[in-house]
Chains A and B, each alone.
Chain A
Amino acid sequence: MEKGVNPSGKSGGPLIRLADVTKVYPLPAGDVTAIDHLSLEVEHGDFVAVMGVSGSGKSTLLNLIGCLDVPTSGDLFLNGVNIRNLADDPLTELRRDTIGFVFQQFNLIPLLTAYENVEFPLILSQGRDGGPGPGEIANRCRAVLSSVGLDESLATHTPSELSGGQQQRVAIARALVNDPDILLCDEPTGNLDTRTGTTIMELLAEMNRAGKTIIMVTHDQRVAGYARRRIELVDGRLA
């Protein structure tokens, strides 16, 4: 069994590997199998669109890859590390340092300004070895906000004062600020009009070109067109 995350992020194997993964939600009305014996590999730098009808298990798949949850059975490897063997704290660190989430609902923290939302993950990793110092935090926040194209004057606004597209830019900035290997996007354009959605997709495509591995859930064929590769889920299995 492999130990420790490969610091170069360039192990011999794939970045993400699911081996016969099943996720069952036990419910009083009966168990729901959200992911059903699914195997999948995603290489460094890939851009995968995950499609499928509502309830087919797309979000569950993303949450598993994002270490928000662990498989009921089967193994999930990130950079060669089997996350089954990790306790809650190392899982959380993995989430913090190697994964960035972008949600359909933007999911910014309402009481914090745009800048503070972006700053938050950096503050969380401040204590670790090689973590950013105060000066570096400010630099990285500013750099990442400008890389997602958010006007500097908006940085002091709270999410409720921003448009949907602006909020999603802030959310992408927050996902990128810790320089993760993987961006997980759950219907990132689902709450945006077509034009704004397109600009967001162009931003994501640019991030992918810059080396980020992206896994994106979407219903939208046009949105899926930005991906290098598509998979479709039906009842928790690959179609």
Chain B
Amino acid sequence: MILFDYARRNIRLHWFRSFLAVIGIVIGVVAISSMGVLGNSLVLSISDSLTTVGDTIVVYPQSGAGPMGGGGGGTTSFQITQRQVDQITRAVGTNLVIPVHTGADRVIMGKENQAVSLYGMDPADIPEILELEDGIFLRSTTGAMAGKRLAEEFDLNVGSTVVIGEDGERVRIVGILKERGIGFDINPDYALVVSDRWFESTYGEEGYNMVVVKVEDLEEIDAVKTAIEDALNRRTDVVTVLDTRAILQTILDAFNNISTFTTAIGGISLIVAGVSILNVMMMSVTERTREIGIIRSIGAKRREVMRIFLYEALVLGLIGAGIGGVLSFGGAFLAVSVMLQSTTYLFVPSSLVYILYGMLFGIGTSLLSGLYPAWRAANLNPIEALRHD
């Protein structure tokens, strides 16, 4: 393909300015495809979680203490009272209701003194939502269970003693919980779980910070949610009722904001790249005016001249998209492992197709930018072009 080769040689002749133009394409392709892959991996991993924890409804007091914000150790003025918990229990019928205190306090573990999240729950409820790794479940008011990650980091074992709070109450670890991953209700991996009684007496708290409802039949989730809302939010909204789906939606919304932003950056760098390719190509057309005259004189039609220059834009686009595509694997890998802590969903076709999209965008931008210079070249007057030097 001599016309293609010809374009390629011209790029190689002016490799430095071509290289600069290509960088923009690379950045644009990487930004767009990494975001696409990340977004898709996120959606996939969330839909996977959906099936495992899709049976959970979480009730928060109407203070805005949403799923992402932890409770502030016993000082939250918005709480769910025992009376409201009873209302919820009546509203949800046979489904299990688990009221939870959340807080945080300084905890001395060995030589370390560290702020640690605390969950206060009825010992009878704990086996319902958490699993045991070692030791036993909490059976009395005193004692605590440690999350797996916390236990690993501070070397806690069954039988270890920790000191919780200012007054320094010594508490024995009776069990270690299985690692649970990011949950939509509670996240005990890096926390201590204590009994509700102990929590209430230590922090002088009556109300709960959240209520977890386990729904037996997934089909009922909307009905249960409505029942809770009808029971508690009769006059004013006193509680926020979230099912995991709604929580996922907030996460997705947050992601969409990030992704729009990053894709915009990708788009801007493609525009900048487009302008610089336009510039490089205009230079090329000007420098090669005489050459264009020669090509026309030996019988190249306008559209053939146009094709020669579009090939040049195409080669720039292909180089940019190629490099960008390769780097996109890196970019996507980084983004996915940082944001999702797992690359399970990176190497699936529905994710990888975004790298293809990114590359196509890059090539498209190049071709689009080459269009005007190519048109200019094609429409030069052959005689004027031949007289040019």
Contacts and interface: CB of A to CB of B under 8 A. Distances in A.
Interface in A125-149: 125
A103 B138 CA distance: 99
Contact of B3 (A63, A92, A123): A123
Interface residues of B, number: 21
A12 B113 CA distance: 110
Contacts of B13: 111
Interface stretch (B25-33, B256-264, B291-299): B291-299
A95 B386 CA distance: 15
Given A63-B383, A95-B298, A124 B304 contact: yes
B90 interface: no
B10 interface: yes
A239 to B, nearest CB: 24
Interface in A73-88: 88
B298 A110 contact: no
Given A63-B383, A68-B382, A69-B383, A96 B298 contact: yes
A107 B382 contact: no
B302 interface: yes
A92 B300 contact: yes
Contact of B2 (A93, A96, A120): A120
B301 interface: yes
Contact of B299 (A93, A103, A108): A93
Prevailing SS type, chain B contact patch: helix
A69 B299 CA distance: 13
A109 B301 contact: no
Nearest to A90: B301
B2 A116 contact: yes
A125 B299 contact: yes
Contacts, number: 67
B332 to A, nearest CB: 38
Contacts of B382: 68-69
A95 B2 contact: no
A174 interface: yes
- Residue of B294, B296, B298, B386 with most chain A CB atoms under a 10 A cut-off: B298
Contacts of B301: 88-89, 92-93, 124
A107 B383 contact: no
A36 interface: no
Interface in A164-190: 174-175, 178
Contacts of A100: 298
Nearest to A184: B297
B297 A66 contact: yes
Given A88-B301, A92-B301, A107 B296 contact: no
B295 A92 contact: no
28 contacts: A66-B297, A68-B383, A88-B301, A88-B302, A89-B302, A92-B299, A93-B301, A95-B297, A96-B298, A96-B299, A96-B300, A101-B298, A107-B290, A108-B294, A109-B6, A110-B291, A111-B10, A111-B13, A112-B6, A112-B9, A119-B2, A120-B295, A120-B298, A123-B2, A123-B3, A124-B300, A175-B298, A178-B299
Given A93-B301, A119-B2, A124-B299, 4 more contacts: A97-B299, A111-B9, A120-B2, A120-B298
